[in-house]
Amino acid sequence: MMTPLNTEPNIANPDDFYARLLAAHEGRSKAESDALNARLVLILCNHIGDTDVLGQAIDLAAEG
């Protein structure tokens, strides 16, 4: 059985999380921010690990 991607709310304090994400980008150039995002994506993908879940996430993101 393929693990379904969790698309339900799963973050305890959404506003805190969002602020933290933006804060990490504060004062950075576009290039630095792009690099940070890329690192973040890689770090999170590795944490998830399950390639089925990653595949679903990539598909969902690609839908836009």
Residue numbers of the site for another protein (CB under 8 A)?
A: 34-35, 38-39, 41-43, 46
Nearest to 24 by CA among 49, 48, 16: 16
5 DSSP 8-state letter: P
Amino acid at 16: D
**Of 20 and 39, which has the nearer Cβ to another protein?**
39
Q: In the bound complex, what is the minimum distance in angstroms from residue 30's beta carbon to another protein? A: 11
**Of 9 and 49, which has the nearer Cβ to another protein?**
49
Q: In the bound complex, what is the minimum distance in angstroms from residue 33's beta carbon to another protein? A: 10
Question: CA quadruple 28, 24, 5, 38: dihedral positive or negative?
Answer: positive
